[in-house]
């Protein structure tokens, strides 16, 4: 499919008898911002490693730009920028030397763009990587990833351990790059509030399975927190006692149905609230 950058079809990853990923399927459209969510141990890291051709799946197939990533990884990585969870480079290596090395590897390297981004981040090219703060290391990693003019950028929990200002700065850089070049972004994150206004589409993993995958606005439109004294409606994900009735999270809400089940209060839900409800639920929604 030419309009899909990442296609994961029936992906399974097993370590001995333990299944880390079980028959995961998802597709990332061109030019979208796609967020993969899940608690620690949900299977996100294994899926991302397979997606980048770093690990061979036990079953299933992953394609990037319509090509098998396991077989053609070297060539495909010329088109992919990566910001890993833990920014890593030799601690004694200067930032300028890291950039020089990357310039020798990536055909699309843009030194002026890298230098400009470093200047905005207020990071000196002569600084040793090991002397940078955690936030600065992430900023350098992002600058490196974007300087090779990627068509796809993969952000693996990029804001982990960063303060509010550093998180905002990182996401603003990504948003700017999206507006200027229309690159596709795939990210895993625990910062749900930070990506709620950024993501187009989300998937939620639980116990190795993709239990939800859809456009963010569609997801938010069908989830509601309802307080009701009437009969319990269909699609209840969570429920607890509320006075003489119940407070429920409903996954298939329709305004026309509110009167039918006696809704006293109906409230919209944030992405974080939806994630907590889906993660707590025993099934697929």
Summarised one tens digit per residue, pLDDT across range 138-156 is: 889 999 999 999 999 999 8
pLDDT(258) > 80: no
Identify the pLDDT of residue 67: 96
**Are residue 212 and residue 231 in the same domain, yes or no?**
no
Token digits for 60? 């299933």
Final residue belonging to a domain, choices 198, 216, 234: 216
For the entire predicted model, the pTM comes to 0.88
**Are residue 205 and residue 242 in the same domain, yes or no?**
no
**Are residue 260 and residue 128 in the same domain, yes or no?**
no
pLDDT(216) > 90: yes
36-72 per-position pLDDT tens digit: 999 888 999 999 999 999 999 999 999 999 999 999 9
pLDDT(1) > 60: no
Rounded to 5 degrees, what are φ and ψ at 56?
-85, 130
115-128 per-position pLDDT tens digit: 999 998 899 999 99
For residue 168, what is the domain's CATH number?
Answer: 3.40.50.300
Query: How high is the mean pLDDT of the chain?
Result: 87
Please give the share of the chain, as a percent, with pLDDT higher than 90. Answer: 58
| Low-confidence winner among 126-130, 163-167, 238-242 (lowest mean pLDDT) | 238-242
**Are residue 154 and residue 69 in the same domain, yes or no?**
yes
85-100 per-position pLDDT tens digit: 887 889 999 999 999 9
**Are residue 249 and residue 156 in the same domain, yes or no?**
no
**Are residue 248 and residue 137 in the same domain, yes or no?**
no
Assess if residue 273 is contained within a domain: no
Domain count, the chain: 2
- Domain range for 261 is 224-268
**Are residue 55 and residue 195 in the same domain, yes or no?**
yes
pLDDT(262) > 70: no
Task: Output 195 or 37, whichever has higher pLDDT.
Answer: 37
**Are residue 114 and residue 251 in the same domain, yes or no?**
no
| Low-confidence winner among 174-178, 188-192, 259-263 (lowest mean pLDDT) | 259-263
The answer to whether the beta carbons of residues 6 and 51 sit under 8 Å apart is yes
């Amino acid at each position: 499919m030419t309009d899909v950058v990442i296609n994961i079809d029936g992906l399974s990853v097993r370590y001995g008898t333990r299944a880390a990923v079980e028959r995961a399927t998802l597709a990332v459209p061109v030019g979208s911002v796609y967020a993969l969510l899940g608690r620690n141990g949900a299977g996100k890291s294994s899926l991302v490693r397979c997606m980048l051709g770093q690990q061979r799946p036990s079953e299933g197939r992953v394609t990037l730009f319509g090509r098998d990533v396991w077989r053609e990884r070297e060539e495909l990585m010329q088109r992919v920028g990566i910001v890993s969870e833990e920014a890593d480079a030799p601690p004694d290596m200067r930032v300028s030397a890291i950039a020089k090395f990357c310039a020798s590897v990536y055909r699309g390297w843009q030194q002026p763009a890298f230098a400009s981004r470093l200047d905005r981040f207020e990071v000196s090219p002569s600084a040793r990587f090991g002397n940078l703060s955690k936030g600065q290391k992430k900023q350098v990693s992002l600058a490196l990833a974007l300087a090779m003019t990627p068509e796809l950028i993969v952000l693996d929990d990029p804001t982990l351990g960063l303060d509010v200002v550093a998180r905002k700065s990182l996401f603003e850089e990504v948003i700017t790059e999206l507006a200027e070049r229309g690159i596709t972004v795939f990210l895993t994150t625990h910062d749900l509030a930070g990506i709620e206004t950024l993501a187009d589409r989300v998937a939620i993993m639980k116990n190795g399975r993709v239990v939800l995958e859809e456009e963010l606005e569609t997801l938010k439109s069908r989830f509601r927190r309802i307080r009701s004294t009437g009969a319990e409606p269909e699609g209840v994900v969570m429920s607890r006692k509320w006075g003489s009735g119940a407070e429920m999270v409903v996954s298939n809400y329709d305004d026309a149905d509110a009167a039918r089940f006696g809704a006293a209060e109906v409230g919209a839900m944030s992405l974080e609230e939806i994630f907590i409800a889906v993660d707590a639920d025993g099934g697929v929604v």
